[in-house]
């Protein structure tokens, strides 16, 4: 569908008569309500906040309406806001590159890490498409490489991971509270 001059004139006329974008789309055919709204916006037609269904004033045709310049809507003299500090950006590591040391990795107990290492030797090493609600969804490796897999062992009731991975992922509140001090 293309916007021919005839279709644009029909749109302008109906818009000026207060017809809704849905009504105009239906009348034109082959065009959606959103396409009509977009065309109205690009043409700079009035948004008709004064009430639907009312015809525009006789002395001012709808096609002469133009969008207001930006300078008209801006206040004359706005007070300058103080500069806000820019927060530090997080490091973006390209796929396939090793991640920098994570603070949470140092907080996990050595026993839990040893248990995870033993469990991952017994893991089923399943793909994303093989995951179910009963398989451990713990990801292992880099998703950008071919040797990426999920644990796949039976999950602990009410959790998305097996017993070993639950021990790493979910930590008791008291141990987290103690670390902050």
- The answer to whether position 154 is within a domain reads yes
Q: Which position has the token pair 């008291």?
A: 174
First to last CA, the chain: 66
Residue 148, domain extent: 104-180
Q: Which of 20, 82, 74 is nearest to 51 (CA)?
A: 20
3-state secondary structure of 33: helix
In order along its 181 residues, the chain shows pLDDT tens digits of 688 999 999 999 999 999 999 999 999 988 999 999 999 988 888 776 555 444 444 445 555 555 555 545 555 555 666 666 766 666 666 666 666 555 554 466 777 777 888 888 888 899 999 999 999 999 988 888 888 999 999 999 999 999 888 888 876 666 555 555 5
Alpha helices in 29-96 (DSSP H): 33-43, 70-73
64 and 126, same structural domain? no
> Considering its fold, how many domains does the chain have in total?
2
Q: What is the pTM of this model?
A: 0.38
Q: Is residue 56 situated within a structural domain?
A: yes
């Amino acid at each position: 569908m293309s916007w021919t001059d005839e279709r644009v004139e029909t749109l302008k006329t109906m818009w000026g008569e207060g017809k809704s974008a849905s009504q105009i789309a239906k009348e034109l055919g082959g065009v959606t309500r959103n396409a009509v709204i977009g065309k109205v916006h690009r043409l700079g037609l009035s948004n008709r906040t004064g009430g639907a269904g009312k015809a525009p004033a006789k002395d001012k045709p709808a096609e002469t309406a133009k969008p207001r310049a930006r300078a008209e809507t801006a206040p004359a003299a706005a007070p300058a806001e103080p500069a806000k500090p820019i927060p530090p950006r997080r490091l973006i590591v390209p796929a396939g590159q090793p991640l920098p040391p994570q603070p949470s990795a140092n907080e996990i107990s050595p026993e839990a890490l040893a248990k995870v290492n033993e469990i991952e030797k017994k893991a089923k090493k399943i793909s994303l498409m093989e995951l179910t609600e009963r398989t451990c969804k713990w990801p292992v490796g880099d998703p950008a490489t071919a040797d990426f897999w999920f644990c796949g062992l039976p999950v602990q009731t009410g959790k998305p991971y097996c017993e070993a991975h639950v021990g790493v992922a979910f930590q008791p509140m008291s141990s987290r509270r103690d670390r902050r001090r």
